[in-house]
Structure 1
Amino acid sequence: MTLIQVLGTTVVLSLLLAVAEAVRRVYFHPLAHIPGPRLAAITWWYEFYFDVIQPSIFVFKIQELHKQYGPIIRITPDEIHINDVGFLETIYAPSMSHRDKYDYILRTLQIPGAIGATVRHDVHRKRREALGPFFSRRNVLHLEPLITGKLEQLCQLITKHASEKTTINLSDALFAFSSDVTNNFLFAHQTDVLADETLAATLRQNGNDLLLGININKHFPWFPTFLDSLPLFISKPIMPPGLIDMLALFDRVRAELMGIVAAKSSGVSSEKRLGPTGKESVYHSVIDSNVLPPEEKSLLRLEQEGALLVLAGTESPAKSLNIIFYHILANSSILSKLRAELSTVPKTASWTELEKLPYLSAVLEEGNRLSFGVTARTARIADETLTYTPSPYATSPGKPYVIPPGTPMSTTTFSAHTAEAVFPEPFTFDPERWLGDAGNERRKFQMAFGKGGRKCLGIELARAELYLVTAALVRGFNMELWETDESDVAFVHDYQVAMPKFESKGVRVTARIL
């Protein structure tokens, strides 16, 4: 047989196998009964088109498909999406229920050792148990002076721009603040990004650019693996700056880990007042944990843990504050109500005092809602057979469907936070919707910090930042938007977090001291 005949036979057999697999996925797959486009059922290239060719807009395409096919649809050969907030509690079950994550989606991050990228439910529980005390409300309250110290520095930066009558990129400043708070809360080593506006702008842009590549990781997971296999002198020149920043973060946390291990071996103890956990660094919580087996304390695993904690802890509060300040500065009536309420408490009010203010709390809830938290699909997998029956919140009529065990299923935060049955005029920034009994009822649909047993570990730290920063800046400064409009904070692209138009420079303001 000639080479041409071999190649021809190979092509024919490959085509026959592809057709056979397509037929199986459409007619004989366990999800064959779930509605949705045939092409999505046949191949992941359907998702790839909206993830990569059309720059990460699959989350919006999913909403279009629901209008055509109903509240439950098949969006890839193996995965379903449910556009019904009445089913959230079933998908994102409490911590005692067994729900694994979907490894296909998690490979965007390429850090499997981190708690946020943990696939198995049982492994996640152990990792969370080890970290939980360090992220507890009690420990955040103890470390509140760390937040207020950085807040004073942020106010000094804005005061400097006010005195010089120059504009300030509030997005860069809030990113630097949140980055410093997160790093200095987690680790014994300290950072001071807030002291250098140029560095803050560079790091924020590098981080955004790095996120632009995460969908490549999902669809071509071999590419980052190949990059990692190359010697650093070859791979580093072609790395995006954000990846180089991450490698620098790995170096910092590795040095801290090795220092902790060395100190424990020599019996040297910290001279700092360590607070309720007795831990100076989050890594002490992990290394001293009795629930984690030795393999969970490996250097690589802990480096990945630290990296994701920093990335998530920086991005989430900074994004929410960005949304909050754009909208309150764009709406004078909201700003006036907020200032009136804040005038009822001392300027030195603590986080716990500020939490009691209903309108401030409502403003923060609305900022979190329109920040959308983790925008990527956070699919869960149940061991048991489930039945989806449309609830009164379903966006369109439908019939019950059986969901086979082992099926990845999700509701995106975009879907939940724009459900008009719960949030009328969903793209309007309206804090009033969170007030009173109706507002309390809506809180069960808030997904900015996740839901169920995998809810964000750092929620208390993020809440403290949001309350203290919003109160201080609203009371301390009269800020006006400068060359900034709603398109600078709108959700246009889904790169794990909500991103605005690519050319956005962030929220920029001028400030006067009040």
Structure 2
Amino acid sequence: MTLIQIIETTLVVSLLFTVAGAIRRIYFHPLSHIPGPKLAALTWWYEFYYDIIQPSRYVFQIQELHKEYGPIIRITPDELHINDVGFLDNIYAPSSSRRDKYAYQLRTLRVPGGIGAALSHDVHKGRRDALSPFFSKRNVLHLEPLITQKLKQLCELIRKHANDMTPINLSDVFFAFCNDVVNNFLFAHQTDVLANEEKAATLRHNTYELLMGINVNKHFPWIPDFLESLPMSISRTLMPPGLLDLLALFNRVRGELLDIIKAKASGAESEKHLGPTGKESVFSSVLDSPSLPPAEKSLLRLEQEGALLVLAGTESPAKTLTVIFYHLLANPILLATLRNELLSVQGDISWTKLEQLPYLSAVIEEGNRLSFGVTARTARISHEALNYAPSKYVTTPSKDRKSYNIPAGTPVSTTTLSAHTAETVFPDPFKFDPDRWLGHEGKERKRFQMAFNKGSRKCLGIELARAELFLVTAKLVREFGVEMRLWETGSEEVAFVGDYQVAVPAVGSKGVGVMVG
């Protein structure tokens, strides 16, 4: 057989395999009975187009597809999306039910050692059990002075801008504040990004630049694999600044881990008053945890764990604070209502006292809703078959209100964009309206809040984030509410334009600027 014949035969066989695979995906696949565009069922290139060519717009395209195909659709050859908040508890089941994550989606962040990147239910549970005592409400309450000390520094910075009659970028300083709090909460080493606004702006910009690459990681994982295979002397020159920042964080975490291991080996005890956990660093909790096997205590995994906790603990509360203050300053009536409630509180304001205030709580809930939390699809895989039947909360037209069997092992998700803009639950969904969270109806709506995810994978740091949101919002509204006004800032600065794991505004966004005084 000649070389040309070999090539021709190879091409013909490849073509036959491709055609056979295409026929199977469309007509004989276990999900072939689910509605959706044939192109999405046929190939991941459909998702690629809206992730890369129309950058990070697939979550919005999915919403358009629901309008055409109904509440349940097939969005890739293997994955379903359900636009029905009545089904949330079936997807994101409580801890009593096993739900695994979808490996394909976890390519994006490339930190497999983090709790949020644990594929299996069992691995996630072990990691969570080791971390939970440190993130308990009791421990956050003990470390509340750490937050209030950093909050005092934030107020001094704002007052300095007021005295100098210069604008302050709230997006930058909230990022710095949250980055310092989570670092200083987790680790024995301390950071002070808030002391340097220029550094804060650079770190925030670098973080967003790093997130811009996550969809490339998902579709072309060989690219970061190749870069990581190169000698560091070469790969560093090709890395974006955000990745260099991440490597610097890895190094700080590794240094702390080595110090802890050394101290444990020598029997040295910390002289600090360590509070409920008896641990100065989150990694002391992890290294002492009986729920983790030795492999889960490796330096590489714990470096990744620490980095992911810092990224999540910085971006999420900072984004929510930015959204809250933009809308409060853009709506003076809302700001006045909140300020009047806060001024009615006598004496020192603690987090415990603030949580009892209904309007402040409503403002926090609405800020969480419109910051959207993790915007990327976070599919769950059930080990049992599920049955989907449209609920009363369906917002998209459905021709037949048909039920569908979902085979075991199928990745299924509902995005936070879908859940948080369901008009049957949140009328006029893009309006910042704290009143929707008041009273009995407001309490019922909390079932559909996805900012901190749901079920057994619910955000580990929710209590720390809530403490920051309540304390910062209350303090700044009381201290500066009547003096603050937006400066060269419109709604586009907090708009959800691109899905890069989190909601990102348009390219070129500068953040929320404010003048005080």
- TM-score, normalised relative to structure 2: 0.98
Of 497, 503, 508, 2:508 maps to 503
Matched, 1:421 2:420: no
1:112-511 superposed matches below 5 A: 112-346=112-346, 348-395=348-395, 396-397=397-398, 398-477=401-480, 478-511=483-516
> Contact 1:84–1:391 (CA<8 Å) still a contact in 2?
yes
SS in 2 for 1:100: strand
Letter of the 1:431 counterpart: P
3-state SS of paired residue (1:76) = coil
State the identity %.
Answer: 71
Offset of residue 352 of structure 1? 0.5
Shift of 1:226: 1.3
1:379-412 deviation line (CA, Å, top 9, x unaligned)? 0000111100000001233310000000000000
Alpha-carbon distance between aligned partners in 2 of 1:260 and 1:254, rounded to the nearest angstrom: 10
Residue 2 of structure 1 deviates from its aligned partner by 3.9
Tell me the amino acid that sits aligned with residue 61 of structure 2: K
Give the match's secondary structure for 2:104: helix
SS at structure 2 position matched to 1:498: strand
For this pair of structures, how many residues does the alignment match? Answer: 512
* Partner amino acid, structure 2, of 1:447: M
Q: Which amino acid aligns with 1:20?
A: A
Unaligned runs of 5+ in 2: none
Residue deviations 1:455-504 (CA, integer Å, cap 9, x gap):
00000000000000001111111211111100110000000000011111
Give 1:8-23 correspondences, 5 Å limit. 8-23=8-23
Q: Kindly state the Cα deviation for residue 221 of structure 1 after the two structures are TM-superposed.
A: 1.2
Shift of 1:217: 0.7
CA distance in 2, matches of 1:401, 1:319: 37
Structure 1 counterpart of 2:509, which letter? S
Deviations 1:188-230 (A, max 9, x none): 0000000000000000000000000000111111211111111
Indicate how the Cα distance of structure 1 residues 208 and 249 shifts in structure 2: closer, same or farther if over 3 A, else same.
same
Distance (Å, rounded) in 2 between the aligned partners of 1:457 and 1:6 = 56
Identify the residue that residue 60 of structure 2 maps to in structure 1.
60
**Counterpart in 2 of 1:28?**
28
* Secondary structure of the structure 1 residue equivalent to 2:81: strand
Question: How many angstroms apart in 2 are the aligned matches of 1:195 and 1:211?
Answer: 25
Cα drift, residue 30 of structure 1: 0.3
Per-residue displacement from partner, 1:236-268 (whole Å, max 9, x unpaired)? Answer: 011000000000000000000000000001111
Q: For residues 432-475 of structure 1, what are the alpha-carbon distances to aligned partners after superposition, in whole Å with 9 as ceiling and x for unaligned? A: 00000000000000000010000000000000000000011111
How far did 1:347 drift? Answer: 6.2
CA distance in 2, matches of 1:292, 1:503: 44
Give the letter aligned to residue 475 of structure 2.
A
TM-score, normalization by structure 1: 0.99
CA distance in 1, matches of 2:166, 2:204: 21
The one-letter code sitting in structure 2 at the alignment partner of 1:60 is: F
Tell me the CA shift for residue 23 of structure 1.
0.4
Following the alignment from structure 2 to structure 1, what is the Cα–Cα distance between the partners of residues 305 and 34? 37
> Contact (CA 8 Å) 1:347, 1:472: kept in 2 or not?
no
Q: Deviations over 1:250-292 (max 9, x none)?
A: 0000000000000001111111100000000000110000111
Instruction: State the Cα distance separating 1:6 from its structure 2 match.
Output: 2.9
8 Å CA contact 1:211, 1:495 repeated in 2? yes
Deviations 1:37-92 (A, max 9, x none): 00000100000000001010000000000000000000000000000000000000
Q: Decide whether the 8 Å contact of 1:362 with 1:434 is kept in 2.
A: yes
Let me know the Cα RMSD of the aligned residues.
0.8
Give the letter for the 2:418 counterpart: S
Secondary structure of the 1:95 match is: coil
| 1:420 counterpart letter in structure 2 | E
Look up the SS of the partner of 2:75 in the other structure: strand
Q: Give unpaired runs (5+ residues) of structure 1.
A: none
Distance 1:467 1:437 in 2: 21
